[in-house]
Amino acid sequence: MRIGMVGTGYVGLVTGACFSEMGNRVVCVDIDKEKIEKLKKGIIPIYEPGLERLVKENYKKGNLHFTTDIKEALDNSEIIFIAVGTPQGEDGSADLRYVEAVAKEIGELMEKPIIVVNKSTVPVGTADRVREIIQRELDKRLEEGKITPEKHQELSQFDVVSNPEFLKEGDAVNDFMKPDRVVVGADNPTSMEKLRRLYRPFTMNRERFIGMDIRSAELTKYAANAMLATKISFINEIARIAEQVGADINKVRIGIGSDHRIGYHFIYPGVGYGGSCFPKDVKALIKIAKSAGVEPKVIEAVEEVNRTQREYFINKILGRFGEDLTGKTFAVWGLSFKPETDDMREAPSITIIKALTSRGAKVQAYDPKAMEMAQKYWLKDVPVEYFPNKYDALNNADAMILVTEWKEFRSPDWYEMEKRMKEKVIFDGRNQYDPTHLRELGFEYYPIGVGNLTNRKREG
């Protein structure tokens, strides 16, 4: 098929590249000229395993094209995806200005009926809004004499479909190629069948294509992310209880995760969820609920637990070193909100580092992929020193703080760490290490949700 993809961010680029891998002709559009020129040269703006190869190979084959001209995509596509950002507004709702701008351009420039697919995460009712905007522009073209009544009637046969994405950053290419499910909301049976055919190469092993009405599809994305966020906040709240009553959350997690109705996924205690989806989508769902006259008490509690979980972890550090951190040095391992990505949107590391530096601490940071993002955007005004490897970041540190569970942090050289650190203190925001082993090595160890953990402070 011939596909247009408006937006070359995380969702648009992964989706476009994966469609092109199956032989579809995909035209990716973005208003950022510099980004488009880099993509033509095979320079990827984000880190996502496997994506660079897909982009380079399919661009070379001619299956994948990049342009700043949306009309080029409209003229050469039968389906066009809207995959632009929907940032969080001041009131917590999704900001639809970019989605609406694309809809306006489609209505202004389309020369044949087309299926418009909302791939961006959008509130319930957005498909109706996109349809209205496109139709309004078509009506305007008719009134101004730019198209004939016959052409207007032909173009008005366009359709709008919802196709929310369920990609995990760090494993997005694999998620797209082997999806758990593909959700499509459409009112027109012809559009539904065309989307079913488009996704057939990805759903051949077993039926994963789920068709439904448009509004149900729009709500499904928010509901899915809110459910996963709920599991994270739930286990973090249980971890706080475990620590206070002398239990071990790691053992509790195994005990409840063995129930197949609960499962082990997303019940790892830590410093809370982050990224571009969960924080924004939970807040947006709260806004959607309240706008509909519903008080979302459970979902509001999920958001509140996540917000305070970072404070809970910071208070562990302050409980050990005091409120005034002047003269103290902390090594931070991990900046991205999760492993296998350079994404730092809503990353717990931001909150933690700002809390430390605001109290006079020196922060020495290392992350395998996210340091450039930190320096340029998320921590650009914060006094952080960055290091080329995890051990250099430990030099003369009073403590190491593990924030992101990258694989290279799982089995460090404890003897190398001891040589470099001023004090043998570890704050583990992901419960990666064995408390008994670290105590035997003489480390003070502060995980999350483990009660009655006796720490031996370094003597001398």
pLDDT digits (tens, 9 = 90+) for 158-189: 999 999 999 999 999 999 999 999 999 999 99
- Give domain limits for the chain: 2-212, 228-460
The per-residue pLDDT for 455 is: 65
Q: Do domains 2-212 and 228-460 have the same CATH topology?
A: yes
Cα–Cα distance measured from residue 435 to residue 216, given in angstroms and rounded to the nearest whole number: 46
Which pair of tokens denotes residue 202? 């990805």
CA distances from 356 to 34, 274, 362, 457 (A): 36, 19, 8, 21
Known catalytic residue at 18: no
CA–CA distance, 249 with 269 (Å, rounded to integer) = 8
pLDDT at 454: 60
What is the CA 356 to chain-centroid distance, rounded? Answer: 25
The single-letter DSSP state of residue 93 is S
Say yes or no: domain 2-212 is CATH 3.30.70.2190.
Answer: no
35-60 pLDDT tens trace: 999 999 999 988 999 999 999 999 99
d(CA 310, CA 312): 5
pLDDT of residue 207: 77
Q: Catalytic residue among 5, 29, 106, 277, which?
A: 277
Which token pair is 209? 């294509």
Below-50 pLDDT ranges, the chain: 456-460
Quick one: which H or E segment has residue 52?
helix 51-61
Q: Architecture of domain 228-460 in CATH?
A: 3-Layer(aba) Sandwich (3.40)
- Reference 138, options 160, 157, 119, 155; nearest CA is 155
pLDDT of residue 204: 81
d(CA 459, CA 343): 40
The set of residues, in sequence order, having a beta carbon less than 8 Å from that of 372 and lying 6+ positions away, is 342
**Alpha-carbon torsion 347, 218, 14, 199, what sign?**
positive
* Predicted local distance difference test score (pLDDT) of residue 92: 81
pTM of the predicted model over 0.95 = no
3-state secondary structure of 94: strand
Q: What confidence score (pLDDT) does residue 453 get?
A: 66
The SS3 assignment for 149 reads helix
